[in-house]
Structures are given as structure tokens and as C-alpha cells.
Amino acid sequence: MEKATKNLIVEVSAGIVIFTAVILLGSFFVYPRTSVYAGLLLGMVLALAMFFSMALVLDRSMKSQNPGIVQKRGIISAAIRYLLLVAILVIVINWFSDWFNPVAVVIGVLGLKAGAFLQPAIHRIASRK
């Protein structure tokens, strides 16, 4: 992986963690339950895992010369990622809803989107130093 790609991965990951920290702080005042905290942390771990999976697939795809292979690899990996996410959510809802708040897990997973939106701001802050 190139240095710019590694920096991008670190910046988006930092955005996911910052989003989760802000939501954890907010939930401390709004709905202070341990299941909410555990759900947010599980969602953050899932978001980071999904992001690292996407980064690895994109990095491998960029090295391939065949556009058909790139398209197939992208579609298959995205389908697997989302099937695993749905399976984990179903398991959490059915068996572990007393440990992990399912809504908090979904909010934690949305940290993936927030991390992508926060990346330009984090990049500007990081490039100043």
C-alpha cells in the first residue's frame, strides 16, 4: 500500500473513532445504559472491520488490470460484508439484545459514513502538523 493510502485509512479510522466518542459522550447524558455503550462500541468495531475490508479490496483491485475481475471482486466483497453485517445484527437482536442495544449498534455502524465525511477535516488538521 502507498503512504497516501495508509494515511487515508488512518484518517477515516480516526473519524469513525471520533464519531463514536462523541455519540458515547452524548449517550452518557441522554440515555445512560451499559447496553447502549456496548452497542456503540460493537458498532464501531463493525464499522472499522467493514472499512478495512473495503480498503483491502480496493487496494487489491487497483493492482488488477482486468476490469471484469475488479467489478466481480467488488460486488462479491460488498455482498459478503453486508450479509455478515445483517447476520450480526440479527444475532444481536435475537440473542444478545440485553447486552447490546441494537439501535446503538446500528448508530455505531453509521460511524463508517461519519468517518468518510470527517476525513477531509481530519486531513487538514493532520497536514498542518
Alpha-carbon span 59 to 67, nearest angstrom: 14
pLDDT in tens, 26-70: 999 998 888 999 999 999 999 999 999 988 888 888 787 788 888
Structural domains of the chain, count: 1
Q: Where are the alpha helices (DSSP H) in the chain?
A: 3-30, 34-63, 67-95, 102-109, 111-128
Residue among 49, 52, 40 nearest 101 (CA): 40
Q: Model pTM?
A: 0.86
DSSP label at residue 33: -
pLDDT, tens digit (0-9, with 9 covering 90-100), for 96-112: 888 888 899 999 999 99
Residue 129 gets which letter from DSSP? -
Residue 90 structural domain: 3-128
Residue 29: per-residue pLDDT: 92
